[in-house]
Structure 1
């Protein structure tokens, strides 16, 4: 008996000790572990990328962010409210890592308020579709003490994979407000020609607005240096070893490079500088650098694609014909998992080439733009010498492969000049890097993406393809820091509730059938009433039969509307019941199972100890 009392006392003492330890852990967590977070989501949705952490922790000045979200106007939009929570929690995580440099405010801009005016003044976009017809604000405005202001006009749930990148880019640009310095080395007259009097191409007008653009002299390799945020090379031909070495070492030291080459540059017709071609449609290549980086490009092969071919005019009164070398690449051919092409819809190219990886290379090729499976490579001379595009139809045999027209090339590249020496020479990159490769230069020309319209003595430009946006996105992406380039895309946080979606689909079928029945009945009733209507003079009053038909139709209409509301109420009730079951399972059932397991375990131990005492 005394042994049982002692065990009971020790058991109570142990329970008290566990309770004290539990309270102590909670207190310690509240006091010393307040900023500690553990991301247990399967896709690490709430873990910041190393690049984001580097940018946030290295902020040079305080940055204030204001998240505008119309909470009251979205009370009937649960998906948008859920995404707002995702955005807010990500912003709070970034604030907690910023060592006090990043500040966050959350504002509900109600209609006709000062907050609404500030949201509009900050560059945010108000979208229709809120409750009671209210406008919905859901964007981010950022500012610094010096007055620099930038914004994300609206958070599109469809772009959630790039949520972290877009916010990090906003913070990075606020911290470094100067425009990226872009160096462009081109043998094409993309920036206009004083000799021929041709104006700059439309793509250059766009780039001058977005970046600090510097046209480089191909004869002065010293201009390719670390002062450039991005180096853009267009149609390189006949470059000297010194020029190639300057490009090589720029990449070896972590420089950001975008290269546009072409097996048949149709715009290479005007002499511009010492390196310009004199033969229309000549090719360009960087074979020595490409081989060192682990990529292949054949300047003598053009890729055709009959499923993506566009119609062109041959001039005169002839009808337009399809040209298998002029391709309209749509959403299916663009990589929507990459931030450069995620928001683009179509890119037009002409007589483009393609890239492949060298065998046994450690580099990796990530396509941005590629052909369909109906493509076929042919000789560039055949395309160049063919006056009638229909000649390309002959002997057309698709290979079934998707040819890469534009891509990111990633790897820890080796120098193409291993035998050179110097104080700053590198034989290999210290860290993995990347370059953007595009196998067409004609996509930069106006004819493939803009239409010019005369207006009051000026030329108005209207874009019918996303070529300009594609180039701007490349330079914008590369123009950030290396940390910004490393920010990865996240998985989607919205997980579908398949049971709920099934219930909704079933109810929608019922709803649609009832609605269709209502419309058919009303149409039949209106036809019958039209036959019974008095003459159009309006002198004769409707007879009792017409009135009875009208009353009957109205009553039936009200009856069916009540039935439709009942279907909707049944749907909501079924969803609520399913939600209650899920909550009951998570909140009650699992703890009860743990308690029952503990009680059973205690009973078994007590029973075994009783047997030992009896013996």
Structure 2
């Protein structure tokens, strides 16, 4: 066998090192990337490309980043590089329509002064140094500020940038009208000394891309410039306001209606304060009937399969009235829900198509065969575990979100209802009736064209409590979505108002991936636990009733002390033994649950630790054997 000279070996090592350095240097200057994520989360989407293609004038992006600050943590630097690369990709794809300028605002420099003028707020590190990490996007006289690129909003990075570009470049935008019995804009506190009410994040996000006008509840005709009408929790709407909604639909107006049989967020409204019996349900019975939809405002839906984990006084449990829906439960054929990953509905109602309806009814979010309903008033008095036990599973179809389409007829065939009179009208002097304003449009009994109405059976899912998390980070107020609830509603608004490019960007999926199999195991074990517990409590109630009957009969006979018959004592002893056995079974169920979860976790850990080294080892062995065989053939 020939000996390989030592100089040749060292030469090969040096050559290999030179090649590695050359590859790294080339990769640094040539930004090549391969996006291997399932939904291509790190690749600019078609929606952003469409916005760039429609640009008529150049858009300038001034990116301010304290690059040379030595105290930046590694994850911050990595994310900053991701932001910079994404902005450069925008510039490349825009064919000269995006002008990107990158600045490093060092202390006491002109760059820092401009960053402060634009409103980019610095983040103060523990050492006291200021870090700038934001951008200003402008076109002509339009500007959009992105004060801080928060790492926790990484999944919305492309959306935030594209939204800003779309807003500064848009000459016209759709106008949305909003009708609601609740105060969405916030305001002063109802009780002195309390913090003022904050504006809903949903409304703030909607105003970023669309013009929003909150219509008064005294509206008698929806203005023509309203492209989309959102009716949110119509509790106590007057007949005249319902007539205005009815005629708007018949004229071809787009509409989204959100109802709720138990709106938790409405507990804080003035109408439900100061000791009054809270009225939390909303309904539009006359309109729904004409739209071909059945809805019962006294019933709340629940689903054991989609039950959410809630923290009660007795620990964490699956609560079927708070329902978490993954992507496989949402309608994947409709653009509003196609790419959403996680939606939470809280004590929602249900929709179904009316038996005599001729309209088309399309569910976008349906419950499983493990669902049922309970009376809404029970939610105010019963504990979550009791509600979960009392909900009876039925075989009825239930939709929490649906679209009804057709050529609708009016719910007011006699025209606009008479104005409702109050006490002040009765006592006022003067004319017998106020002068009526003539309506701009004539009364319609039936629509000329087919129309579609989007229906939600929950309002709470839009409230800040169930959709976002507010974080104070170094003086900055950061809003972090906890699910896709906001995305769902914003998708619906942008889809129905004709702005679908932004919707396709937002609904691209999530960077976090839940353990679906693990959640399913927990829900199955929880359902088994609740069923056995229900049987146990039923037996307990039966024996307790027999004891009460026995004591009552003894009291009627005037006996102060009751000696239980031997057979009753034996029966009680037998029940105690059954109770002990049942509780032992419950512990066994929980034990099996923990074992299954632990085994799954250990399997995933071993897979992550051993799979990649095993693959590399197998490749190394194959390459080694191939080279050894080739060398032997050469020697021969």
Q: Please report the TM-score for the alignment, with normalisation by the length of structure 2.
A: 0.50
Q: CA separation of 1:450/1:170 partners in 2, compared to 1, >3 Å: closer, same or farther?
A: closer
Query: How far off is 1:460 after superposition?
Result: 2.4
C-alpha contact 1:188 1:276 (8 A) present in aligned 2: no
Query: How far off is 1:208 after superposition?
Result: 2.2
Find out whether 1:250 has 2:348 as its counterpart: no
Give, in angstroms, the shift of residue 420 of structure 1: 1.4
Q: 1:406 aligns with which of 380, 401, 404?
A: 401
The residue number in structure 2 matching 1:469 is: 487
Q: Could you tell me how far apart the structure 1 residues matched to 2:89 and 2:55 are? A: 29
Q: Does 1:193 align with 2:201?
A: no
Cα deviation for residue 231 of structure 1 reads 1.1
Q: Distance in 2 between matches of 1:137 and 1:256?
A: 36
Per the alignment, residue 231 of structure 1 pairs with 229
Give CA-to-partner distance per residue, 1:121-175, whole Å, 9 cap, x none. Answer: xx99968xxxxxx9899967889x989999xxxxxxxxxxxxxxxxxx9999999
Q: Distance in 2 between matches of 1:460 and 1:557?
A: 52
Q: How does 1:194-593 map to 2 (within 5 A)?
A: 194-196=188-190, 197-222=196-221, 224-272=222-270, 279-280=277-278, 282-314=280-312, 319-386=315-382, 388-420=383-415, 424-480=442-498, 519=617, 557-560=622-625
Note the 1:32-181 alignment, pairs <5 A.
177-181=171-175
Query: Aligned partners of 1:312, 1:419: CA distance in 2, in Å?
Result: 49
Q: How much does 1:221 deviate?
A: 2.4
Task: Check whether the contact 1:295–1:358 (CA below 8 A) recurs between aligned residues.
Answer: yes
Q: 1:183 aligns with which of 177, 180, 195?
A: 177
User: Does structure 2 retain, via aligned residues, the 8 Å contact 1:307–1:374?
Assistant: yes
- Looking at structure 2, the residues matched to 215 and 140 of structure 1 have their Cα atoms a distance apart, in angstroms, of 36
- Kept in 1, the 8 Å contact 2:373–2:391? The answer is no
Deviation at 1:217, TM superposition (A): 1.1
Distance in 2 between the 1:178 and 1:435 partners? 25
* CA distance in 2: counterparts of 1:139 and 1:363, whole angstroms: 45
2:472 is paired with a residue whose SS is strand
Distance 1:214 1:279, change over 3 A: farther
Distance 1:124 1:451 in 2: 23
- Return the alpha-carbon distance in structure 2 between the equivalents of residues 179 and 246 of structure 1: 24
**How many residues are aligned here?**
383
In 2, Cα distance between equivalents of 1:326 and 1:297: 19
Question: Does the CA-based 8 Å contact 1:365-1:407 persist in structure 2?
Answer: yes
Quote how far apart the aligned CAs of 1:459 are: 3.7
Conserved 8 A contact 2:361-2:405: yes
Cα distance in 2, alignment partners of residues 277 and 181 from structure 1 = 39
Q: Based on CA coordinates, which of the two structures has the bigger radius of gyration?
A: 1
Listed one character per residue, the Cα deviations across residues 182-201 of structure 1 (whole Å, up to 9, x for unaligned) are: 11111123221324321112
- Contact 1:266/1:280 (<8 A) preserved: no
Alpha-carbon shift at residue 404 of structure 1 (Å): 0.9
Cα separation, 2, equivalents of 1:76 and 1:562:
33
Alpha-carbon distance change, 300 to 202 in structure 1, aligned in 2, over 3 angstroms: same
User: Residue 503 of structure 1 corresponds to which residue in structure 2?
Assistant: none
Q: Which moved more, 1:346-355 or 1:371-380?
A: 371-380
CA contact (8 A) 2:413 2:445 kept: yes
Contact conserved, 2:288 with 2:294, CA < 8 A, in 1?
A: yes
Query: What are the ranges of 5 or more consecutive residues in structure 1 without an aligned counterpart?
Result: 1-71, 96-100, 104-122, 128-133, 151-168, 486-512, 523-553, 564-615
The equivalent of 1:586 in structure 2 is none
Q: Secondary structure at the match of 2:265?
A: coil
